[in-house]
C-alpha cells in the first residue's frame, strides 16, 4: 500500500515527491509472521514512526489521518492508519480496480 501510494504521489506531483524510507510501527500484540528467531537490528518506537498502525481512532474512526501541526506545504509528523482500514479494506478505485487504500491514504477522492 505504501509503495502504491508513493507511486501515485510521484505521478500527481509531476515526479517531484515520493516516500523514501518509511518506518511503520504496528501494535505489539500483533502476531509475528516472519522469522521470530531472526532479531531485528533496528528498534523503532511509536514516537519515531512515520506511519502508525493502531486501533480505530475515537474521532476519525477507521479513516487514516495525519498529524499536521504546520501549515500547507509543511511536513506532517506522522500518518495514523487504523487496523481495520488495513485488515478490512474494500476500497475500489475510480476505474473499478482494487486500490489497496492508497488513494484514500493520500487523501484523493
Reported as a pLDDT band with limits 50, 70 and 90, residue 34 is low
C-alpha cell at 59: 474521532
Q: Which residue bears the cell 489497496? A: 100
pLDDT one-digit tens code per residue, 45-95 = 778 888 888 888 999 998 888 888 888 778 888 888 888 887 775 453 444
- Contact status, residue 86 vs residue 1, Cβ threshold 8 Å: yes
The reported pTM is 0.57
Please say whether the dihedral angle defined by the alpha carbons of residues 7, 99, 51 and 76, taken in this order, is positive or negative.
positive
Report phi then psi at 32, rounded to 5.
Answer: -80, 130
pLDDT one-digit tens code per residue, 87-102 = 775 453 444 444 555 5
Report the candidate in 72, 94, 76, 91 with the shortest Cα–Cα distance to residue 1.
91
Domain boundaries, the chain: 2-105
Amino acid at each position: 500500500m505504501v509503495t502504491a501510494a508513493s507511486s501515485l504521489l510521484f505521478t500527481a506531483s509531476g515526479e517531484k515527491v515520493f516516500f523514501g524510507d518509511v518506518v511503520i510501527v504496528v501494535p505489539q500484540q500483533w502476531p509475528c509472521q516472519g522469522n521470530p528467531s531472526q532479531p531485528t537490528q533496528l528498534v523503532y518506537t511509536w514516537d519515531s514512526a512515520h506511519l502508525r498502525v493502531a486501533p480505530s481512532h475515537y474521532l476519525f474512526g477507521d479513516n487514516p489521518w495525519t498529524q499536521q501541526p504546520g501549515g500547507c506545504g509543511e511536513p506532517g509528523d506522522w500518518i495514523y492508519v487504523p487496523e481495520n482500514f488495513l485488515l478490512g479494506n474494500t476500497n475500489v478505485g475510480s476505474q473499478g480496480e482494487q486500490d489497496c487504500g492508497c488513494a484514500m491514504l493520500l487523501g484523493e477522492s
